[in-house]
Structure 1
Amino acid sequence: MKLCIFGAGAIGGLMAAKLAAKGDVDVTVIARGPHLAAMQANGLKLVSDGQEMVVRPRCVASAEEAGPQDYVLVTLKAHSLPGAAKQMQPLLGENTAIVSAINGIPWWYFHKLAGPYEDRRVASVDPDGSVWDLLHPSRVIGCVVYPAAEVPEPGVIEHTYGDRFTLGEPDGTRSERANALSAALVAAGFKAPVRPKIRDEMWVKLWGNMAFNPLSALTTATLDIITGDPELRAVCRQMMLEGQAIAERLGVRFAIDVDKRIAGGAEVGAHKTSMLQDLERGRPMEVDALLGSVVELAEIVEVPAPTCRIVLALLRTRARLAGCY
């Protein structure tokens, strides 16, 4: 199996390290800058559960160097994908699968979603439709990412918690390609179930991200404050209820209720969300993938989402003024 990690930051690096350590998969990592240079010189170091290991996957700067793959795991931030889709073309052979390990509502969301919205494109994350055309949804295996990791220095991945990557085909089938990828991830030490309703799983994660992340960026509060302060918790809860109404109109079923989902966020403790971290570091924030797309879906299915709209307007202004949008 030839597998390429495109966007080998924290999550991509975690996957690359464990897959390469197992040795059954031909792993190629595409990265850039000091991170690439460090991996090429010293290997990729993974720090997890108090243990360190160094592996040496093939590390290159471009898709041309990597060549066609069986699987391309895309672990970029969502806003980077439109600019990267064309660069990825040399990785795509006739049967190459694209594993979409990206936060928020993905570009392929409506592909094979039976009903009146089938094959509709999501402008928030694919403004000109080029991602759909270049990375056609027929290639996609959905992936919901649960682990947390960071890059404390170039060439080093620090794994904080979590080991599950849930997979699923957009049409709900249990395909041979999804099963094969699941087996490879399990052999590498991950949990990788293949689910028939991948969008249900995506929404449970997004349910928290669509509220926790924007509120943290607007207030600089950590998760314990957002979930513990009565006023912030109320705003968070209302946003999530609006999100639930939108998702249920699209056929999603939530296995837990909103208060249990908020409680799950509270258990993480004094954690800075990824959006707050991006704001503090002056990096582009996933505004549209995590909330703009939710508001777009609300318009499509004609569900009111007044709190989400207000928070989105505030968040976009906050991001623009900080140079992060």
Structure 2
Amino acid sequence: MKICVYGAGAVGGYLGAKLAMAGADVSLIARGAHLEAMKRDGLRLVSGGETTTIPVRATDDPAELGPQDHVIVTMKAHSAPPVAASMAPLLAGGGAVTMAVNGVPWWYFHGIGGPLEGRRIAAVDPGDAQWTHIGPRNTLGCVVYVAADTPAPGVIGHGGGNRFLLGEPAGGTSPRIEALSAALTAAGLDAPVRPDIRQDVWTKLWGNLSFNPVSALTGATLAQLGAHDGARAVIRAMMIEAQAIGEKLGVAFPVSVDERLAGGAKVGAHKSSMLQDFEKGRPMEIGAILTAVQELGRATETPTPVIDMVQGLVDLRDLTNTGRI
């Protein structure tokens, strides 16, 4: 089975390293200095205090790799639509695309049934680029729980976690997703096939859509946010609004708002991924994590006044931080 990891940065590099170490036929798509370092020196994985150097096949040109059985996209959500068309050589044989990307997935309304079936989400797929060039029928869902970074080009620092929850958008299982689960499991990853991947999407999204933007606006860690009455009130209100949306879409939340809030705060002195991107001057994943939830609110006729206010502020902060306004 041929597997391509598209966007082999922190999470994708970790995934690619684990697959390569297990002997899988895996290729990585990356760019810039990170790509050049992997070509020259191999991919170095720092995990558990040990450094392992793994020879990998890496390129920035999908046409070099040919058709794949599975393409796993591990990019930032806003980086995926512009490259959707370039995946054509990888998908020529009818392979599946697994979207291991944060936030609301662009395929969310495929296979959901009811009046919202087939609805597009502009915040994560402007111009329907992924819907058109990848196609929801070719897509698998994935929710990732991995802490990783790229401290230097060609180097992946693994801080913990190895979960890649997999799911068919229409639910249930299939030979293609079972094969992918088996390949990831053989690489030492926790990759179960979930009966309803949307439940897992919301479990992670619930915390990300609230903690992440507030942390980016304040510069606070998760522990600091949880300890501050004002910030905690804003986060709680955002969670309540999001829960109302999710429940209208058939999602059953496994814990209460207050339990989820407390769980986020217990993570400790951790900077959210959105805050980390802000501090590095990178565009933040606002569209998939926050703006898309606004769209789901409109689709379900659910008011989102607090989410709307925070989205407006963090969007402006992102524009000024990256010099786009």
Q: Same fold (TM over 0.5)?
A: yes
In the alignment, which residue of structure 1 is the partner of 2:199?
200
- CA-to-aligned-CA distance 1:256-297 (integer Å, 9 cap, x gap): 222222222122211111111111111111111110000111
**TM-score of the aligned structures, taking structure 1 as reference length:** 0.98
| Residues 101, 178 of structure 1: alpha-carbon distance in 2 compared, 3 angstrom cutoff | same
In the alignment, which residue of structure 2 is the partner of 1:292?
291
Letter of the 2:18 counterpart: K
In the alignment, which residue of structure 2 is the partner of 1:155?
154
Q: What does residue range 17-96 of structure 1 map to in structure 2 within 5 Å?
A: 17-23=17-23, 25-96=24-95
Task: Determine the C-alpha separation between the residues in 2 that align with 1:84 and 1:143.
Answer: 19
- CA-to-aligned-CA distance 1:231-269 (integer Å, 9 cap, x gap): 111110110111011011011111122222222212221
In the alignment, which residue of structure 1 is the partner of 2:312?
313
1:239 and 2:242 are equivalent in the alignment: no
SS at match of 2:127: coil
In the alignment, which residue of structure 2 is the partner of 1:138?
137
Q: Percent identity?
A: 54
In the alignment, which residue of structure 2 is the partner of 1:7?
7
- CA-to-aligned-CA distance 1:83-103 (integer Å, 9 cap, x gap): 111111111123200010000
Does the 8 Å CA contact 1:99/1:141 hold for their aligned counterparts?
yes
Does the 8 Å CA contact 2:70/2:95 hold for their aligned counterparts?
yes
Does the 8 Å CA contact 2:2/2:69 hold for their aligned counterparts?
yes
Letter of the 1:31 counterpart: A
In the alignment, which residue of structure 2 is the partner of 1:166?
165
Does the 8 Å CA contact 2:69/2:93 hold for their aligned counterparts?
no
Does the 8 Å CA contact 2:5/2:29 hold for their aligned counterparts?
yes
Q: CA RMSD in A?
A: 1.0
Q: What does residue range 251-290 of structure 1 map to in structure 2 within 5 Å?
A: 251-290=250-289
Does the 8 Å CA contact 2:124/2:288 hold for their aligned counterparts?
yes
In the alignment, which residue of structure 1 is the partner of 2:120?
121
Task: Determine the C-alpha separation between the residues in 1 that align with 2:78 and 2:155.
Answer: 24
Q: Could you list the runs of 4 or more consecutive aligned residues of structure 1 that deviate by over 3 angstroms after TM superposition?
A: none
Does the 8 Å CA contact 2:145/2:164 hold for their aligned counterparts?
yes
- CA-to-aligned-CA distance 1:32-63 (integer Å, 9 cap, x gap): 11111111111111111112211112111210
Following superposition, the deviation at residue 14 of structure 1 comes to 0.4
1:108 and 2:145 are equivalent in the alignment: no
**TM-score of the aligned structures, taking structure 2 as reference length:** 0.98
In the alignment, which residue of structure 1 is the partner of 2:227?
228
Task: Determine the C-alpha separation between the residues in 1 that align with 2:319 and 2:47.
Answer: 36
Letter of the 2:246 counterpart: A
Q: Which stretches in structure 1 are left out of the alignment for 5+ residues?
A: none
SS at match of 1:95: coil
Does the 8 Å CA contact 1:284/1:324 hold for their aligned counterparts?
no
Stretch moving more, 218-227 or 9-18: 218-227
Q: Which stretches in structure 2 are left out of the alignment for 5+ residues?
A: none
Task: Determine the C-alpha separation between the residues in 1 that align with 2:60 and 2:147.
Answer: 25
Task: Determine the C-alpha separation between the residues in 1 that align with 2:319 and 2:12.
Answer: 28
Task: Determine the C-alpha separation between the residues in 2 that align with 1:260 and 1:147.
Answer: 22
Following superposition, the deviation at residue 324 of structure 1 comes to 6.7
Does the 8 Å CA contact 2:68/2:93 hold for their aligned counterparts?
no
Does the 8 Å CA contact 1:283/1:324 hold for their aligned counterparts?
no
Letter of the 1:127 counterpart: P
Task: Determine the C-alpha separation between the residues in 2 that align with 1:78 and 1:264.
Answer: 25
Task: Determine the C-alpha separation between the residues in 2 that align with 1:264 and 1:190.
Answer: 24
Task: Determine the C-alpha separation between the residues in 2 that align with 1:219 and 1:32.
Answer: 32
Task: Determine the C-alpha separation between the residues in 1 that align with 2:178 and 2:258.
Answer: 33
